Amino acid sequence: AQTVTQSQPEMSVQEAETVTLSCTYDTSENNYYLFWYKQPPSRQMILVIRQEAYKQQNATENRFSVNFQKAAKSFSLKISDSQLGDTAMYFCAFYNYNTDKLIFGTGTRLQVFP
Amino acid sequence: SAVISQKPSRDICQRGTSLTIQCQVDSQVTMMFWYRQQPGQSLTLIATANQGSEATYESGFVIDKFPISRPNLTFSTLTVSNMSPEDSSIYLCSVGDRADTQYFGPGTRLTVL
């Protein structure tokens, strides 16, 4: 069974600094997708970034980028130039066509300090 | 991405009663999903609702407890039946034409006394 592990329950970073959130996963599949979702205090889950496993190039969305290490089954999220609005829970998620559903990690609570 | 609304945004209910949560999308979508997020926990999929067919429930969730309707391509409801304090959670709907690309609603915070 696929599992997603986020080993950092909480992280903090100062405004304008860079922070990296960790995620590892376990699967025997070769084709899958990985995601980072953000859930601010408003509860709205927002898709931050998506990575297709067949792509070697790491996905980037503005200040958000990933370090996708397929062999190591690692998928970390780097947030550059952190902003107060980045304060949220961040969930790593996994999808493949066999299970046809998203599997979420337990989340990392990120606090950005001024 | 689709604009998704949920009603109610929050509610406080008494033990033994039922609550129906609505999920409305501003465009037609193939798939709608219902998740539960217990306090401080991650998201757990309850069921997938496709228009014109019965909802598909995940292990640990049954139709008698969580009946779901999907009357058209823009609307779904989830009912939490015979509630107990253990049902206190955030309930989220998400939508997408495929399960690999989902957009989430704002959630419904349910407290059962």
In tens, the pLDDT along A77-107 reads: 999 999 999 999 999 999 988 888 899 999 9
User: Whole-angstrom Cα distance, residue B76 to residue B47?
Assistant: 12
Q: Residue B78: pLDDT above 80?
A: yes
Q: Would you give the DSSP letter of residue A10?
A: E
Query: Please, which pLDDT band fits residue A19 given cuts at 50, 70 and 90?
Result: very high
User: Whole-angstrom Cα distance, residue A29 to residue A8?
Assistant: 25
Number of H helices, E strands in chain A: 0, 12
User: Whole-angstrom Cα distance, residue A97 to residue A112?
Assistant: 36
User: Whole-angstrom Cα distance, residue A100 to residue A103?
Assistant: 10
Contacts of A101 in chain B (CB under 8 A): 33, 45, 48, 58, 99
- Show the beta-strand stretches assigned E in chain B: 4-7, 10-13, 19-25, 31-37, 43-50, 56-57, 68-72, 75-80, 89-98, 101-104, 108-112
Query: Please, which pLDDT band fits residue B109 given cuts at 50, 70 and 90?
Result: very high
Contact A95 B42 (CB under 8 A): no
In tens, the pLDDT along A49-76 reads: 999 999 989 999 999 999 999 999 999 9
How many A/B residue pairs have CB atoms within 8 Å?
A: 45
Calculate how close chain B gets to A100, using CA atoms only, in Å.
6
